Structure 1
Amino acid sequence: MSFLMSMSKAFFASYIEELIVQYARENVESGRWQKTGSLSRARRDIERLLPRGIDTDNNHFFEMRVPEESETVGMIWLSLENSSTTSTVFIYDLEIKAEHRRKGYAKLALKEIEDFAATHNIVNIGLHVFSHNDAAQKLYAKMGYETVSVNMVKRIDQATMS
C-alpha cells in the first residue's frame, strides 16, 4: 500500500494557504526577502507556478498517510519538468507536520518519490533547500542528493553607507 495519496481539492485549498505563509517565512528567515510584502510576494510566486491550482499540468500533490494513522502526517508537491536533454521531477514542497517529525516519514516519502519518478521515466529528482535547514540538508545528503549549485547573498548595512 502506498504511503502517498493524491490530495483532494478540499485539502489542497487549506494546504496552499499554509504553504504561502511558510514560503514567505522561510524566505524572510533566510534573508532573501524583507518581511514587509513577503506574504503577497509568496502568493504571487505560487500563483505563477500554479495558474490552475491543483489542476495545473505536470504538477502532483500528495498527502502522506500512514495506514495506522487516521490523519495526514505530511504533504508533497511535485512538478514534472522535461527538456530536450533531461527529465526531472522537482520537489517543490515536502513537509512533515511538526508532531510527526523524526519518525522516518520524510525518508519513506523520498523513496516513494523515487518510485514515482521511475514510473514516469524521470532521470533526476531535484529540490531546493534553504541554507538554514540543516536537518533537511543532512537527510537529503544521506539519501544520495548532491549539491549542484549554491546561491550566495551579501547583506549591505545601510547605516554604514554614506
Structure 2
Amino acid sequence: MPPPGVTLRPMTQEEFDAWQAEVARAYADEQVAAGNWPADRALQLAQEGQAGFLPDGLATEGMLLLNGVLADGTVVGRVWVGLRHPRDVPDCAFLYDLEVDAGHRGRGLGRALLEGAERAVRAAGVGALELNVFGDNATAISLYASAGYTVTQQQMRKRLPH
C-alpha cells in the first residue's frame, strides 16, 4: 500500500526543464560507471538520447512525465514512462526513470511511485511494464523484484586485463 497522500501529477514545464538536466547527468554517470561510455562524451550522449526519446519535450506523445507529490504539495520524486516500448514489444510500456529524491528515500515512496506508474499504464490500456536496471543497483533490483518484476534478459560483462 502506498504511503498516504502520495499522488502522481504531470510535470510542469519548469519542473521538466530541471529534471531533464538532472536525469541526463545521472544517466551519463551511470553509463560511465558501467563502462559503457567515455566520461568526456557521456553527458552529450545522454542528452542526445533524451532528445531522441523526447523530441517534443514535455509534449512528446505517448510519454508520461510525472512527479510524485505528498498531500502538502512536496515533490518527492519523478517517473518517466513511455506507453510504447522502445523495441516495439506489443502491449508493453517502458519505465525509463523512477527516482525518489535523496531526502525522502527509505519511506516506501519508490514503491508508491512504481504503483502509481503501473496504474497510469493500465489506465492507458497497456497490459505490461518493462524496465532496465543497472546490475549494481541492489536497492532498485530489490524494489522491482518485490513488486513482482522478473528478469527477462540479462547482460553480463567481465573486465579483461590488458
TM-score (ref. length: structure 2): 0.90
Q: Is the 8 A contact 1:90 1:125 kept in 2?
A: yes
Say whether residues 1:86 and 2:90 are aligned partners. Answer: yes
Structure 2: gaps of 5 or more residues: none
Q: Is the 8 A contact 2:8 2:69 kept in 1?
A: yes
SS in 2 for 1:103: coil
Give me the whole-angstrom Cα distance separating, in 2, the residues matched to 1:23 and 1:48.
Answer: 15
Q: Is the 8 A contact 1:86 1:123 kept in 2?
A: no
Structure 1: gaps of 5 or more residues: none
Structure 1 match to 2:77:
74
> 5 Å matches for 1:104-115?
104-115=108-119
2:157 to 145, 148, 153: 153
- Superposed CA RMSD in Å reads 1.8
Q: What is the Cα deviation at residue 137 of structure 1?
A: 0.1
Q: What is the Cα deviation at residue 122 of structure 1?
A: 1.1
Q: What is the Cα deviation at residue 135 of structure 1?
A: 0.6
State the structure with bigger RCO (CA 8 A, min sep 6), 1 or 2.
2
Q: Is the 8 A contact 1:94 1:106 kept in 2?
A: yes
Give me the whole-angstrom Cα distance separating, in 1, the residues matched to 2:58 and 2:50.
Answer: 11
Q: What is the Cα deviation at residue 32 of structure 1?
A: 1.6
Q: What is the Cα deviation at residue 2 of structure 1?
A: 6.2
Give me the whole-angstrom Cα distance separating, in 2, the residues matched to 1:131 and 1:95.
Answer: 17
Q: What is the Cα deviation at residue 152 of structure 1?
A: 2.4
Aligned-residue identity in percent: 28
Q: Is the 8 A contact 2:62 2:83 kept in 1?
A: yes
1:45 counterpart letter in structure 2: G
2:20 to 16, 19, 22: 16
Kindly provide the CA deviation profile for residues 27-81 of structure 1, in whole angstroms up to 9, marking residues without a partner as x: 111222221211111111111111111111100110110103x321001111011
Kindly provide the CA deviation profile for residues 98-121 of structure 1, in whole angstroms up to 9, marking residues without a partner as x: 110010111111112221122122
Q: Which has the larger radius of gyration?
A: 1
TM-score (ref. length: structure 1): 0.90
